Amino acid sequence: MNEQMSKWSFGQINLRAVKQSARTAVAAVASLLVAHLLRLPEAYWAPIATLIVMQSTLGAALPISGLRFAGNALGCILGACLATYFPANIFVFGAGVFVVGIVSALLRLEMYRFASITLAIVLLAGHGQPPRMIALHRFLEVSVGIVVALVLTALWPESQKPGGKG
């Protein structure tokens, strides 16, 4: 199919964009359904993670997803520990963000932003639950989103050329 045939006549929408939108929508809905099936309390984090992970190819999504997973784990663990043993305040939050940066650098992993975002959510989201439960739920919700996005990207790869198969 040539470039002209891969566009729709009403507004010249590229067929590749339509396919990518469909892939992303299916992945987001699937991750929300899985999170609901698992009865995760803040199921919306799963499709948010899926939307962030969706890339054009599995090869592009896989490495960054590993870092997102590791950063999510680090942010959850550190956030739960800080929230359990220290009173919530701006200094504890700042120290946590600093420690996440140091740990990321020591591990030589580019996960600082993922870990610090998760840390902020665990520390700053007052849910009335024990911090370890908030962290566990956050970890599971984001992990569901990452896994669903990777599975869908592997099963339904995006076309590499406009109008190509995929």
Measured between alpha carbons, how far is residue 158 from residues 17, 32, 106, 155 in Å? Answer: 10, 21, 36, 10
pLDDT band at 35 (very low <50, low <70, confident <90, very high): very high
* DSSP per position, 36-92: HHTT-TTTTHHHHHHHHH--SSHHHHHHHHHHHHHHHHHHHHHHHHHHHHS---HHH
3-state helix, strand, coil in the chain (%, to 5): 70, 0, 30
- Structure confidence at residue 4 (pLDDT): 52
Give the Cα separation of 43 and 36 in Å (integer).
6
Amino acid identity of residue 146, one-letter, is: I
DSSP E strands in 115-166: the ranges are none
Q: Give per-residue pLDDT as tens, 117-160.
A: 999 999 988 668 888 999 999 999 999 999 999 999 889 887 65
Q: Give per-residue pLDDT as tens, 48-87.
A: 999 988 865 777 788 889 999 999 999 999 999 999 999 8
Are 53 and 150 in contact by the 8 Å Cβ rule? The answer is: yes
Q: Give per-residue pLDDT as tens, 87-110.
A: 889 999 999 999 999 999 999 888
Amino acid identity of residue 62, one-letter, is: L
- pTM, rounded to two decimals: 0.80
